[in-house]
Structure 1
């Protein structure tokens, strides 16, 4: 009864007229809603509508339960006045026994109106759709009532016409009788003539009313169907946006109910037109057009295929027909799929000519699922065997070329004489032949899903978009891909803009600056070998797989520029550090920290970035624990307090294996004993492999490796062991670390020290 609790808080702010209209005193007073609130909210009311006569017995059952519960509540009430009042209300509800569906629909509408009134502290993104759907479904209900009224008028016309035919026959018989017998029956004849004229007037009046109401119903049906198709386009639009992380409610059942109601109303109105004999009227033609559009529009891609598809690889997709329960029984409906290019997608009115690709397992039967009440064709093992590329323009690459899957079927609807050819296309897909193309293909899809118009010509996209739109897309994609609620902040946003526009010194607002597709994923970043998207996607992948918890708890500063980094760390105590994503490598995270310089000032060091491979070997928490020089996470959090839960307990290694146990521990370059040939100081990361005390001596130590760190096996001998050292191949350091003297001026740069390994006994 959560909804009722929220509603009671609203009632005191609503005018009396609103409350009275919401809870009609003579049929469903507010007391009934209050005393059986929990029971009401535990029932399914959304399935009911006036036209669903098959649910009448279910509505009768709910009405009986409501009356019984209300009577039980009344008998248990110690207040005599309240008891009598509740008993009277239960007797009033007996009036619904002749129309139980009316009772169920009334409760359904009350709950809908309550949901529209109840405020939400955190409204869902689909709330506006829910409000629109509520209004639209009410319009459909009004249309249902109009059609019922139309049917009543027809029945009345039939009765009046029959009476008129009877009275005309009586008039002729009465005249003949009077003439044969020479009787004067003028008064009776006049009375009968007057009655006949009244009946003729009634028939004419009913005919006029019927004609007017028929047109009104067809107009209402057209409006309801237009809103339905618009809502269906919204669903498809949201489905497209889901690819970049926007929220998406994929439930199609309410739209299917709406669609079925529109089909039912169309059939009822066509029947009414047939009974009036106006088969060739404009209204009949309009109803036929509405029917054709509805049948075609009800065919949708429920589960989209992957938008980046590698040839020779399996993938799945599902199409759904919202009018599946209305498909005529008999011959099964076969859905066929083919791949089409952008030009063919723009000319769907004609059958595609050239076959641009070969699909494997490209047919499926449209099957009805009784449990879910959905009718779908599932393509479970589809594959693109080969693809035919179009002639590319200029510098366009294969990963920028967009295709789509076209699904077609021939379907017959119960009550319709002719079959209909239905078709629908998927969202655009990029076809690749090698995994190395995946990143660039994803960029094409991201740009398409984020910036294309809802009703665009396939598959037109803008060449440039405002930075604010780009940032919203990056933020949405990042949070959804990582699976976090922690968004990119304003500092991250500014640095990303500086990077994509190559304006490291720009301090103003980037919001209205235009970013191009070339800047996003065509041109490599200055001084780098990769594009902006390739770099951003690498950070996203690293965070998703290894840093999700750290990011979600706000322990990673993330995207930060050189100037900003020095600005916030320059006045901090030695040992203060922060975590930032590597600016020079794809998929790396580094530690920037404050340390004392040789001249008594301070310098900001940047440790060699940790890659995905590095973090697979030793987690970030343990690496932070290993580095003694860093003590406080910016601004002033003790690292043990915030990272302690990420520390792992080193396993107790058995010494009964015949080997000397070893353990890995991170040391930055200045802490590890350097090779004799290199005495430079720096902040590159090193792994130290320690031997553990053991009674077993003279056995070889196992080799270990960490990402690009190479470790050889030590050869043991009775007199000791030796180990050959290898220099790390890392050769792309972060931006140079500046040494900050007490005056704050820069005095040079520190070269990172090569990676090396050593043993400690």
Structure 2
């Protein structure tokens, strides 16, 4: 209800726009009396492109009607009688209107609520409590557009008034011209009169004819000047129309498309399409009014030809108006909902195209059919250069034809492709090291329709964002890399689908951060330390200074073509593995700040050795895609007084489908504090699985529990020494100098072999083999130590 209260405070043009949202399709009284109920419903959770959601929409409709009927019954007294009848009527009206198409009701209410929110936000930005105008650049630009529309409206109204005056003047001119012809006819008929009568009548008629001809001569010059002045005013209007259209189509619409592309990487894709449509409809209305005025000027000129350049001027005006309206119609055929950019064959997908001026130009009176075909880069280039007049295809899309539908509630003309499927794809020859997941295609949508009683015929086309076609889920990772790079670094107006081969490191970090935050549904993205860690991995560097990477560039090959040193996977494959793991299983722990993640083995060791035994942290595995390990500090069982850092074998998605991270941490009693000093139960207890219930029907349920053999003792109480350690820094003798590199290998392979296999690793193996074979190796151990 808070939104409705704010909406009622709108003034001026914003109030008129808000009122225009309502009508017979959804009365404003319904919005008023059910404001709280309407705003409490989750309209946005209904997927308009999924027919299966119709049942959910039907429940919302039934509940709305029931609420309205209940509100009507509550009205009492003399004043409430009429309202009771009115609300009951609205309940029946909504039921009959939307019962067969409940999704249209949802579409209508979503449109209303989003529009109200936009109007309220804009009004809030424009005015502040002290009366000082506080507008950002966006608001200023929108205000400029609205002011220009007002200028155009006044200019169009002015030329309309002048045209009417011209028409009246011309009609009177024609009447006087006919009068002059009548006088000439009378003079010709005087021959039958007597000389005396003829002289008297002739003198009067000659005088009258002279007066009329003099007026006609003067008025002809006036009419011609009037026509020329009107043509000049139309030229000024067209110049302003073209400027306004350039601002809307070449800036606002292009920026909307850019936001839509970045949304493919997880960026915020704020609406704004309804605002663009309202502007484009105003343009279409003004252009059409001016076009009609030009046609009337042509008719007047044909009706009364006068010497002068009018015909040439009208031809130019006609060319201008045709150019403007053609550009408007072809540019406003847009893709509202893009097809998936990683497109798997034999898999259903959806898309929505929309003509922003369709309703205003009455295109829906003869709704056009839209066809979708898939084309490759070369075909897309030819289409944009107008080198190809027919739609060549690089594959076969099933269910690729759809008729555009007009939605009365929202005033939109769109085609919803709900069940398309790519049956097959024809690939082109690849260049050099390029893989199939680097090849880009695009879905071409095209339609043909006419406006103005078939006066103007338009063949419109629009290309989707680049798509990468895959045939197996294993290709998804690399295909996503191609899409992310394209979305992040594509330039406006590029040749399809060229992107830079190298970008600055900080630009890539912005793209990765956007993707990461979107997948985590969190504002906690990649910190500066995280980005330094990623830079070290990408460039095989050891520098911890962020400034060292600021001017460095990373190539596509470094990103996702060449494997990382000593690994069989690329930088992106490692990063994407982390994202998938976090998204599927660890999102709440990341958002709680429980996972450090982007920490290497040496850093983890340095951090933990300054903390008491039992302190642990969670970091991503360096050696495995989509792996996370637990590192903790504990006593070295083989050397009294020596402390060391242990690393558990990395967990992957497969592990977490068996038992969750929180439960695994709960199982390990030797893990006491999450780095730096948070008791583990304080962090993870809310995610523990509740204890198993008692036996049912005589059966006892089994329980899975994680065990690390070397640390199977019961949960220890902190010793006096440990308590003292909390307040004291470890002395150099507290750790063996070589303990930084000590990572014992456990008997059940639960400990992480992550990292290089160095001398210390061989000693650990030797010690372990000694335990297994019971062979004395003291001499060999001593010689190696020396």
TM over 0.5: yes
Q: Deviations over 1:370-391 (max 9, x none)?
A: 2332222222222222211111
Is 1:528 the counterpart of 2:567? The answer is yes
Q: Distance in 1 between matches of 2:685 and 2:511?
A: 34
SS at match of 1:346: helix
Q: Distance in 1 between matches of 2:128 and 2:745?
A: 55
1:320 to partner: Cα distance = 1.5
Equivalence for 1:552 = 591
Equivalence for 1:670 = 710
Is 1:588 the counterpart of 2:588? The answer is no
SS at match of 2:632: strand
Is 1:403 the counterpart of 2:476? The answer is no
1:541 to partner: Cα distance = 1.0
Q: Deviations over 1:635-654 (max 9, x none)?
A: 22222222222223211341
Change (3 A) 1:732 1:534: farther
Q: Deviations over 1:158-179 (max 9, x none)?
A: 3344556667888999999999
Equivalence for 1:431 = 469
Q: Distance in 2 between matches of 1:465 and 1:337?
A: 33
Contact 1:585 1:732 in 2 (8 A): no
Change (3 A) 1:316 1:113: closer
Q: Distance in 1 between matches of 2:118 and 2:533?
A: 51
TM-score by length of 2: 0.69
Question: Which of 256, 261, 267 is the aligned partner of 1:240?
Answer: 261
Is 1:227 the counterpart of 2:247? The answer is yes
Equivalence for 2:673 = 632
Change (3 A) 1:110 1:244: closer
Q: Deviations over 1:641-682 (max 9, x none)?
A: 2222222321134175355x5433323341249xxxxxxx97
Contact 2:538 2:571 in 1 (8 A): yes
Equivalence for 2:320 = 286
SS at match of 1:419: strand
Contact 1:46 1:108 in 2 (8 A): no
Contact 1:483 1:544 in 2 (8 A): no
Contact 2:10 2:123 in 1 (8 A): no
TM-score by length of 1: 0.71
Q: Distance in 1 between matches of 2:125 and 2:211?
A: 58
In structure 1, list runs of 5 or more residues that go unmatched. 7-35, 60-106, 121-125, 674-680, 686-726, 740-745, 755-761
1:446 to partner: Cα distance = 0.8
Contact 1:338 1:359 in 2 (8 A): yes
Contact 2:621 2:650 in 1 (8 A): yes
Equivalence for 1:307 = 341
Structure number with higher helix proportion = 2
Equivalence for 1:733 = 753
Q: Deviations over 1:245-287 (max 9, x none)?
A: 1100245222222222222222222222222224852121121
Change (3 A) 1:155 1:116: farther
SS at match of 1:406: strand
1:116 to partner: Cα distance = 4.7
Is 1:513 the counterpart of 2:548? The answer is no
Q: Deviations over 1:728-752 (max 9, x none)?
A: 577962237999xxxxxx9998569
Equivalence for 2:231 = 211
Is 1:570 the counterpart of 2:609? The answer is yes
Contact 1:309 1:432 in 2 (8 A): yes
Is 1:449 the counterpart of 2:487? The answer is yes
Q: Distance in 1 between matches of 2:561 and 2:321?
A: 50
1:550 to partner: Cα distance = 1.0
Structure number with higher strand proportion = 1
1:223 to partner: Cα distance = 0.9
Q: Distance in 1 between matches of 2:121 and 2:230?
A: 32
1:141 to partner: Cα distance = 2.5
Q: Distance in 2 between matches of 1:571 and 1:629?
A: 17
Equivalence for 1:704 = none
Contact 2:745 2:752 in 1 (8 A): no
SS at match of 2:17: coil
Equivalence for 2:784 = none
Is 1:46 the counterpart of 2:17? The answer is yes
Q: Distance in 2 between matches of 1:368 and 1:289?
A: 26
Question: Which of 270, 275, 293 is the aligned partner of 1:272?
Answer: 293
Contact 1:607 1:684 in 2 (8 A): no
SS at match of 1:377: strand
Change (3 A) 1:506 1:633: closer
Q: Distance in 1 between matches of 2:348 and 2:137?
A: 38
SS at match of 1:294: helix
Change (3 A) 1:37 1:518: same
Alignment of 1:185-200 (within 5 A): none
1:545 to partner: Cα distance = 1.4
Contact 1:403 1:431 in 2 (8 A): yes
Contact 1:606 1:737 in 2 (8 A): no
Contact 1:328 1:414 in 2 (8 A): no
Contact 1:558 1:580 in 2 (8 A): yes
1:487 to partner: Cα distance = 1.4
1:493 to partner: Cα distance = 0.7
Change (3 A) 1:395 1:662: same
Q: Deviations over 1:287-330 (max 9, x none)?
A: 11112222211211111111111222221222112222224466
Question: Which of 129, 139, 142 is the aligned partner of 2:148?
Answer: 139
In structure 2, list runs of 5 or more residues that go unmatched. 29-115, 130-134, 188-196, 299-310, 714-741, 770-786
Q: Distance in 2 between matches of 1:119 and 1:171?
A: 69
Is 1:393 the counterpart of 2:402? The answer is no
1:605 to partner: Cα distance = 1.8
Q: Distance in 1 between matches of 2:389 and 2:220?
A: 55
For this pair of structures, how many residues does the alignment match?
613
Equivalence for 2:350 = 316
Q: Distance in 2 between matches of 1:109 and 1:593?
A: 51
Is 1:618 the counterpart of 2:659? The answer is yes
SS at match of 2:707: strand
1:683 to partner: Cα distance = 6.7
Q: Distance in 2 between matches of 1:156 and 1:109?
A: 42
